[in-house]
Amino acid sequence: MKAVVYEHPFDVAVKEVEDPRIQHPNDVLVRVTSTAICGSDLHMYEGRTAAQPGIVFGHENLGVIEEIGSGVTSLKPGDRVVMPFNVACGFCKNCLAGFTGFCLTVNPGFAGGAYGYVAMGPYTGGQAEHLRVPYADFNCLKLPPGDEWETDFVLLADIFPTGYHGCELAKVSPGESVAVYGAGPVGLMAAYSALLRGASKVFVVDRVPERLAKAEEIGAIPIDFTQADPAEQIREQTDGEGTDKGVDAVGYQAHSRDASHEEPAVVLNTLIMTVRPTGMLGVPGLYVPSDPGAPDEHAKQGQLLVSIGKMFEKGQRMGTGQCNVKLYNRQLRDLIIAGRAKPSFVVSHELPLDQAPMAYDKFDKRIEGFTKVVLHPTLAA
């Protein structure tokens, strides 16, 4: 089959690779109809990880089941399904507690697995014509047949739940004010989720006018941090108090306000200043324990200068970690079907699989409006 294969830094190719096959009674094979490129794919693409040439990318996958293993109960060929980016077993201690992003089974020695991602287990990515899904009864979310909402549904694999997860970590509740740092796809999904959850005021902080315009379109209040300290701007719009909650949708590759250099903790520390005493911070990320390309020795080991004294004085609470997609994907699917959520507004391009190399290049360079790309392996090139 054809698949998007990593060749070397800044280079992917669409190549023939071996077809996946059922390896275990609980596997299914899926014919991929939509698969999105994620900002975290760029970490590998840029060579900033230990990903080796030959890896097939793709952890945001939707398609139609072609074949099922002998142990599969709830699925049959022809079912349309979307898979969380997390691969999870469904029966370990963490999965049982809902923490499917930290499955103890699928990637021995580590808590958590994913498709097509370095160090996340032996699961080939889905930027390809076909995909093997392990523990399929657990990992497949069924969708209505046909192709309606295709571009909304593919976002259920990662970024819509991940944005929502930021709100869940911060326990965003009706009537609250929220500050979201970052208006990339995850930040926009976090702001959108905050509004779905009944937040009264949602501020979105970024520097890019197009992104801020998008935030405003969905009902959020844009804050351009190049104009003035964003914590200060938000304080002024919240009677001097700061917001009830905050979401850091930027993570460790944050840049200084003047954009001159990486300043990995700047967003986290500004968030601490932005949120009022007793507030909560949701940090869907991303922060990493090892970052060889970081600006200093501590940051290389994932240690950052955090304003822990201020955080403590304010009695803030913070939740971190990658999203447990299964905690939210069914509910968000139902909002899409009911016509109450339409997350595809973040998708900028839909392309055939063959155009993946071009899409990676432009997405990585943040040019020509490439903000969120969905590939359709079933589309003629």
- Contacts of a copy of itself in 59-118 (CB under 8 A): 69-71, 73-74, 89-94, 96-99, 101-102, 105, 111-112
- Cα–Cα distance, 169 to 324 (Å, whole number): 11
197 belongs to the binding site for a copy of itself (CB under 8 A): yes
- Cα–Cα distance, 247 to 167 (Å, whole number): 7
Nearest to 4 by CA among 173, 124, 154, 171: 124
* CB-based contact 29:20 (threshold 8 Å): yes
CB of 183 to a copy of itself, least distance (A): 20
Nearest to 157 by CA among 21, 283, 37: 37
- Contacts of a copy of itself in 146-185 (CB under 8 A): 164, 169, 173-177
- Contacts of a copy of itself in 331-370 (CB under 8 A): 331-335, 337-338, 340
CB of 378 to a copy of itself, least distance (A): 27
CB atoms closer than 10 angstroms to residue 297: 8
218 belongs to the binding site for a copy of itself (CB under 8 A): no
> Would you say 298 or 365 has its CB closer to a copy of itself?
298
CB of 129 to a copy of itself, least distance (A): 26
> Would you say 66 or 137 has its CB closer to a copy of itself?
137
Of the candidate residues 7, 16, 53, 200, the single one contacting a copy of itself (CB under 8 A): 200
CB of 206 to a copy of itself, least distance (A): 21
* CB-based contact 327:168 (threshold 8 Å): yes
- Cα–Cα distance, 126 to 139 (Å, whole number): 14
Number of residues that bind a copy of itself (CB under 8 A): 87
Site string for a copy of itself, 257-296 (x = CB under 8 A): --------x--xx------xxx----x-xxxxxxx-----
β-pairing, 28-36 vs 11-16, is: unpaired
Question: What is the Cα Rg of the chain in Å?
Answer: 20
